[in-house]
Structure 1
Amino acid sequence: MDKIWSMLSDPNMQWIFLGCTLLGLSSGVIGCFSYLRKQSLMGDTLAHAALPGICIAFMLTGIKSIGLFLIGAGIAGVVATFGIGYITRNSKLKQDAAMGIVLSGFFGLGIVLLTLIQHGEYGNQAGLDKFLFGQAASMIASDVISMTVVCVSLITICTLLFKQFKIISFDPGFARGLGYPVAFLEQLLMLLIVVAVVAGIQAVGVVLVAALLITPAVSARYWTDRLGLMVVLSGVFGAVSGGIGTWISASVSNLPTGPVTVLAATLLFCISILFGPQRGLVAKRLLRQRVKQRYNRENERLLDGNVKKEAAL
C-alpha cells in the first residue's frame, strides 16, 4: 500500500493512472457490443488501420502532435470501415475475410510509411514507432484531458443509446421492424469503436489495443447473462486492468504499461473462465458433481423402495 500511495503522489503518474483507467473503462463498455455482434476482429482491424493514418499525419505536418495523430488515425479507421463494407457488399467474401484483407493491407502500408519516415529527411521523428506498442509514460496532462473527454463521451453515448444498441446486437431485423435506423446505428457503433481504438493507441499501441476491447467483455460474459450487468462488469474489468498495468509498470523499471495492462486483462479472463458462477470451469465441475450426487441418491431411494416392497411380499 505504501508503494501504491507513493506512486499516486507523483503528479505525472496520477495522469497516467487516470488515463489508463478511463481507457480500460470505456474500451470495456464499447467492446461488449462489438463482442456480441461477433465483430471481435473489428477492433484489431481498426487498430492496425490507424498506423498509416498516424504516419500520413506526421508526413503532412512534420509535427508530433497527439491531436493530429488522433485525427489521422480516426480518418484511417473510418476509411477502413467503409472498405470492409464495400468488399462485403460487392464480393462473395464474408466479413471476417474482408477484415483480414483490410487489416493486413493497412498495417503493411503503415510499416512501409514508418520505414520511409525513419530513413527519410523528416525531423523530430524519434519515438514515432512507439505507437506500435504504446508509451503511456509519455502522456501529459493535455493528453489525459483529451482522453478523458473521449472516454466520457463514449460512455455517455452508450448509456443513452443502450436500448437501441442492445436490440441491433441481438436482432437487427426486429429493430428494423420497430422503425429504428439500423444502418445508422450500426455505423455509429462502428464509429464509437474507431474512437475507442484511436484513444487507446498512445497508451497500449496499435498491436495490443484490440485486447482492451474484447478481453474484458469476454471475461464479463462468464459472470452474468444480463447485458446491462455485463456492460458494467466489462467496464470495471477494463478499468481494473488499466490500474493494475499502471501500478506494476511503475513499480518495475523499464516495464511498458500497455503490455502489462493487456496481461492484467488476460489474468482477469483466466479467473473468470475458472470461477465464473455459471460458465466457469469450477462451476461446471461442481454442477456435474451435484447432478451425479442427486442421481446416486435417487437410485438409492428407488433401490430401498424396491427392497422394502420385496420384503413386504
Structure 2
Amino acid sequence: MTITEYFELLISDYTLRTITLGTAVLGAICGMLGSFAVLRKESLLGDAISHAALPGIAIAFLITGAKDTNVLLLGALVSGLVGTFWIRGMTTKTHLKSDTALGLVLSLFFGFGMLLLTFIQKQPNANQAGLDKYLFGQAATLVEKDVLLMAIVTGICLFVLLLFWKEFKILLFDSEYAKTLGFNTKFIDVLITFFIVLAIVLGLQTVGVVLMSAMLLAPAAAARQWTNKLSVMVFLAAIFGAFSGVFGTAISASQNNLSTGPVIVLVATVFVVFSFVFSPGRGILFKAIRRSKNRSDLKLQKTLQFMFGISKTHENIEHPHSIRILNNFQGFTKKSLKEMEDKEWITLDKQEWAMTEKGFIQAQNLYTQQAPYD
C-alpha cells in the first residue's frame, strides 16, 4: 500500500482511522506538555518517568491478572508519579543533582520493571503474552475507546492550560517572582508535572517506554527554534507532534515490517533537524548567512575608516588617492571597493579613489559610535 492509497482509505477504514487519530492526538498533547518540560530544563524527566512507569504496568497485571489497558495505564500512572516525586524528593531533600536523581530513578524502576516482566513471562497464565508491547509500543492495538480517552485527556489538559496560563507562564520564567505575587507555586508545579506524567503514560501503548521521551521532547525542541513566545511555541509543538503522528503512521502503514512508534519518532526528528537548519531566528543556515554578512559589513567599515584617516588630512575630501595606498591594509579587496562605490561612499576612477561626502559622514558616525570605547 502506498501513502496515497493510505490517505484514500483513511476515511473508510476503521483501523487506519483509529490509529491515525490516536497518534495525532498523542502527538498534539505531547507537543503541548513537552514545551513546558523543555523550557523548565527537565528534558530527561520524560525519559525517567516513562521508564518508571514500567513496574506499575507489571504490578497492575499481577494484581488483576488481566490485560485491561485502562487498568495497566492506571498502574503506570501511579508508578510514574511515585518515580517523579522520588526525583523531586532527592533533589530537594539531599545534595544530589537532578541528573543523578533522574539516573537513579530511571535505572531502579526500569530494572525492577524488567524483573517483574521476566517473572510474569514464566507464569502459566496465558494472558501475559504481549505485555512487553509497552517497551517499544504497538500502535496497531489502539481501539476507539483508547483514542477517546486520549481526546478527553487532551481536552482537559487544554482547559487547564488556558485556565492557569498566567500562572504557568510566570512560574516557567521567574518562580521567585511568582511567589512574591502570592501564587501557590508548589501546586502549579505539581499540576504541570502531573499532566506531563499523564501524557507519557498515554503514549506508552503507542510509542513505548524506550521512545516516549523523544515523542515528548522532539516537537517542543523543533517549535522552540521558530519563536520566543510561549503561546506560539505550544501551538507549533502541538502541530509538529500531530503531523509526526499522522505521517509516521502513514509511512509505517505503507511499508511492510515497519513499527509505527519508531517511525513516528523518526518523523518528529526530521522536524527537529529541519528546524535546527532552516528556522530564521536560530537556524544554522541563517546564522551562517548573518555571520557572513556581518564579516562583510565589518570589512567595509574598517576599509572606510582607513580611507577616512587618509582623506581627513586633506582640505578637500574628494582629493584622489592611489589604490596602491591600500595595498598593505588587510580589509582591502577589489570587491569591497566595488561595494563601497555601490553604496556611494567612494568614487573610483581607474586606479584612484576619492571619498564622497556621504562616505565621509558615514565614517564620522563610525568614529562617534566607537568613541565610548576608546
TM (normalized to structure 2)?
0.80
Greater alpha carbon shift after TM alignment, 138-147 vs 151-160: 151-160
Match of 2:205, as an amino acid?
Answer: Q
Q: Distance in 1 between matches of 2:92 and 2:193?
A: 17
C-alpha separation between the residues in 1 aligned to 2:92 and 2:178? 21
Q: What is the percentage of aligned positions where both structures have the same residue? A: 44
| Counterpart mapping for 1:1-313 below 5 A | 2-8=4-10, 9-306=12-309, 308-309=311-312, 312=316
Paired residues of 1:26 and 1:152 also in contact (CA < 8 A): no
Equivalent pair of 2:224/2:233 in contact (CA under 8 Å): yes
Q: What is the alpha-carbon root mean square deviation over aligned residues?
A: 1.5
Secondary structure of 1:204's match?
Answer: coil
SS of match in other structure, 1:189 = helix
Counting matched residue pairs gives: 313
1:87 Cα deviation after fit: 1.9
Write out per-residue CA displacement over residues 228-261 of structure 1, whole angstroms, 9 at most, x where no aligned residue: 1111111111111111111100101121110001
Tell me, yes or no, if the aligned pair for 1:87 and 1:98 is still in contact at 8 Å: yes
The answer to which structure has the higher helix fraction is 1
Whole-angstrom distance in 2 between the partners of 1:184 and 1:144: 29
CA drift at 1:159: 2.3
Whole-Å Cα distance in 2 between the matches of residues 122 and 4 of structure 1? 38
Which blocks of at least 5 consecutive residues in structure 2 are unaligned? Answer: 320-374
Please say if residues 216 and 265 of structure 1, whose CA atoms lie closer than 8 Å, have aligned partners that are also in contact. yes
- Which has the higher mean CA deviation after the structures are superposed, 61-70 or 294-303? 294-303
Amino acid at match of 2:4: D
Q: In the alignment, what sits opposite 2:370?
A: none
Gaps of 5+ in 1: none
Bigger radius of gyration among the two: 2
> With structure 1 as the length reference, what TM-score do the two structures score?
0.96
Query: What amino acid sits opposite 2:279 in the alignment?
Result: G
- 1:247 corresponds to which letter in structure 2? A
Distance in 2, matches of 1:303 and 1:90, equals 62
Q: 1 or 2 for the larger relative contact order (CA 8 Å, sep ≥6)? A: 1
Q: Distance in 2 between matches of 1:121 and 1:89?
A: 44
Contact 2:7/2:250 (<8 A) preserved: no
Shift >4 Å, 4+ stretches: 303-311
